[in-house]
Amino acid sequence: MKSRVFSGARPTGRQHLGNYLGAIQNYVKLQDQYDCVYCIVDIHALTTLDNTRELQKNIHEMALDWLAAGIDPKKSIMFVQSHVPEVCELHTILSMVTPLSWLLRVPTFKEKVKQNPGNVNYGLVGYPVLMTSDITLYKADVVPVGEDQLPHLELAREIVRRFNDHFGETLPEPKAQMTAFPMVVGLDGKSKMSKSLNNHIELAMTEEETLKRVMTSVTDPARQFRKDPGHPEVCPIYALHKYFNPLQQENVAATCRTAERGCVDCKKAMAAEINEALKPFRERRAELAAKPKYIDDVLNDGAVRASVIARQTIKEVKQKMGLL
Ligand code: TYM
């Protein structure tokens, strides 16, 4: 039997280069080696959303991005988290073996509390328990994620160990799998690329939007004038060259350091490379966007297939705990 992969992402709408380089490219690659389950985690999104009007649209946009990027519903299961409600049952069960102190020291929780002290809800504290439930409901061994998710994965492993210690070997300990770009820096050059910080480039932007967006990026702040030598290692545009232009990477760095290459030209070249690389993706996305029923069918079929696995795991977990 093949090992299983699980990963998920919050339906924040169209996916950005950080999502793609840090996670989605691995989702696609792993499909040939593993049984893969990919989930649009709408319940997780509720922990921070103050309105849910956009939720269905965001789910649809994200599904389009995933399919256009190469997730193949014939090979992989792709579904919406709330369509398989067993995850909520497992969440409650796992919350009983998770000490509150473990959850209160999770860095993403502390960050969210700082960002929005007025909305520290019970669900937010339990976010990593729900994530552990996602992964273990499908008995996944491998979890492709970006670097920001590693503390959650570590906690998932601890929860699994505690469950197995109490009730006997039942759930596999999941391992994170990262790409060569586990932390893509945003166009502000300071933080990880993220939609909420508005420092991102969406995969589905038009060529013009991409160029405009790239031109807003910071580069090396020490480079005030065209003749100033640059420091490519601090520049978010240079970081993107590493992915989109690996063969020219050394040349780009060298000509930046000697100021032969200016930032404006460098950004224009970068935008052209992103546009070239994303051309097939954008064409496939446009074709898929014309078939909304197909997207619904993929997600419905995914939920049916995911439910079969979920029901088996819940039954086993309940038996182990004496609930059955
Ligand atoms: P989310 O929705 O924030 O991000 C989805 C995936 O994209 C990766 N990512 C990045 N990678 C590199 N550089 C970036 N700038 C960048 N931004 C985002 C994330 O690491 C992630 O892999 N908690 C998860 C969703 C989740 C989940 C799960 C993941 C729920 N249940 C079970 C794995 C397994 C999240 O909020 O991802």
**What is the pLDDT at residue 283?**
98
**Catalytic positions:** 112, 192, 195
| pTM of the entire predicted model | 0.96
CA of 251 to the centre of ligand 1 (A): 32
Which of the residue ranges 43-57, 77-91, 296-310 would you say has the lowest mean pLDDT? 43-57
**What is the pLDDT at residue 50?**
67
User: CB-based burial of residue 139 (10 Å sphere; 0-12 exposed, 13-18 middle, 19+ buried)?
Assistant: buried
CA of 209 to the centre of ligand 1 (A): 24
**What is the pLDDT at residue 247?**
87
Mean pLDDT of 82-86: 98
Write out pLDDT tens, residues 54-70.
999 999 999 999 999 99
Best residue among 147, 149, 154 to mutate for probing ligand 1's pocket (most ligand atoms within 8 Å of CB) is 149
Q: 149-169: string of b/e by CB count within 10 Å (b at 16+)?
A: beebbebbbbbbeebbeebee
CA of 25 to the centre of ligand 1 (A): 13
Q: 119 falls in which pLDDT band (50, 70, 90)?
A: confident
Q: Which atom of ligand 1 is nearest to the CA of 127?
A: 23
Q: Is pLDDT at 118 greater than 90 in this prediction?
A: no
Mean pLDDT of 256-265: 94
Write out pLDDT tens, residues 18-29.
999 999 999 999
CA of 201 to the centre of ligand 1 (A): 16
Structural domains of the chain in order of their starting residue, each with its CATH number: 4-184+292-321 (3.40.50.620), 207-286 (1.10.240.10)
Write out pLDDT tens, residues 124-157.
999 999 999 999 999 999 999 999 999 999 999 9
Q: Is pLDDT at 309 greater than 90 in this prediction?
A: yes
| Nearest CA residue ID for atom 16, ligand 1 | 18
Q: Is 156 a pocket residue for ligand 1 (Cβ < 6 Å)?
A: no
Q: Which atom of ligand 1 is nearest to the CA of 144?
A: 22
Write out pLDDT tens, residues 147-193.
999 999 999 999 999 999 999 999 999 999 999 999 999 999 999 99
**What is the pLDDT at residue 116?**
86
Q: Is 18 a pocket residue for ligand 1 (Cβ < 6 Å)?
A: yes
Radius of gyration of the chain from Cα atoms? 21
146, 183 contact by CB (below 8 A): yes
Q: Is pLDDT at 233 greater than 80 in this prediction?
A: yes
The edge-to-edge listing of strands for the beta sheet with 175-177 is 77-80, 35-40, 4-9, 142-144, 175-177
Q: What span, in angstroms and rounded, lies between the C-alpha atoms of 35 and 2? A: 6
Q: Is pLDDT at 304 greater than 70 in this prediction?
A: yes
Provide the sign of the torsion angle of the four alpha carbons 249, 255, 260, 263, taken in this order.
Answer: positive
| Nearest CA residue ID for atom 20, ligand 1 | 146
Write out pLDDT tens, residues 207-231.
999 999 999 999 999 998 889 999 9
Best residue among 27, 41, 124, 203 to mutate for probing ligand 1's pocket (most ligand atoms within 8 Å of CB) is 41
CA of 57 to the centre of ligand 1 (A): 19
**What is the pLDDT at residue 317?**
98
Q: Is 149 a pocket residue for ligand 1 (Cβ < 6 Å)?
A: yes
Which of the residue ranges 44-53, 121-130, 294-303 would you say has the lowest mean pLDDT? 44-53
**What is the pLDDT at residue 153?**
97
